[in-house]
Amino acid sequence: MAHPLRILIVDDSALMRRLIRTMLEQDPELTVVGEAADGREALIRVAELRPDLITLDVRMPVMDGVETTRQIMAYQPTPILVLTASLSRYDIDITFQMLDSGALDVMEKPALGDNDALERARIALIRKIKLLARVKVVTHLRGRRKLQEAQAVPPPVSPPPSRPSGTFPVVVIGASTGGPRIVQQILAGLPANYGAAVLVVQHIAQGFSAGMVEWMRTRSVLPIKLAQAGETLQIGTVLVAPDRLDMTFETDGRIKLSDHPLLLQRPSIDITMQSVAEIYAAQTTGVLLTGMGRDGAMGMRAIRRAGGYTIAQDEASCTIFGMPKAAIDLGVVEAVLAPEKIIEALINRIAPKWGGSG
């Protein structure tokens, strides 16, 4: 690396800023160029210092993490890693609003106490920063317009009756860095009478999957829930893999959740796609979205070999094009589309559910 990555730390706690600085400065490829104690000060520091990445707190005085993210992404687009100390529903909601406004990813703040845990947190934080600092972010105009988008909460949808395994369409969506916002956009675009079961495998830091589900529910007319072992797929229902657990299926279609200690990435997109393809074959549609690495490429190949359909997100709309590109290079992608076109393809490919109107 020719020049150290320049990091700005934004947190209202002086102790936390000092801890993060100490952790980062142990790596010669990183340098902390500044600190800020609130969002308004952060805007000034970003303009002055032009950092390669910002670690950004959620709750701060003067200007919270959401508005700070909106302003940074509107005027000085910079990779942002959200750091939160709480997994409360309130803080999780703010965190996902920050991701929706242009922040790239989220992690829990390192906690004092256990030295081994602190060292693991340091390694994970540095690895994440080095990945995200190289992402080319784009301007988000929402912060300039300052429009508060009123999101009407849809009425609850009664779950449709379950069907025997292998007799109805299943959509498997896999995503990693930059994925939550795109997954939410896709789910929000599917109609209430959607004629497929939908599975989501999103790489996200441990402890955040339940909050992500709550956040995605605010814009979708489809019921969305965390998958539970033993339940069966239902048409028109979205099931999300819990963090750190792989979602597979028994031959009768019941969900099985497992922990594979040898896998570096859990939940695994490959494992879920392969399991679904084995049972639902040509009824399976695979959608692979933004993310680093190759997870999902082999799963998309399994879907294609089973006669199913495969879609990858296009490079222009990806935060990181790694996962879609791996599947495209493998020759197992039938359509490369922007998110809005993915919605159209999923609707056009799958008829409304039984008993639903067109």
Active site (catalytic) residues: 176, 203, 295
**Structure token digits, residue 197:** 């079961």
DSSP of 263-311, one letter per residue? Answer: -SSSS-HHHHHHHHHHHHGGGEEEEE-S-SSSTTHHHHHHHHHTT-EEE
**Structure token digits, residue 27:** 């790596």
- Number of CB atoms found within 10 A of residue 58's CB: 25
- Number of CB atoms found within 10 A of residue 197's CB: 26
d(CA 190, CA 164): 23
- Number of CB atoms found within 10 A of residue 218's CB: 16
What order of strands is seen across the sheet that includes strand 80-84? 30-36, 5-10, 53-57, 80-84, 105-108
How many residues comprise the chain? 358
Beta strands 255-258 and 246-249 are antiparallel
Mark out the alpha helices in 50-133 (DSSP H runs).
Answer: 65-75, 89-100, 115-132
CB 200 within 8 A of CB 241: yes
CA-nearest of 194, 200, 257 to 224 is 200
d(CA 326, CA 47): 36
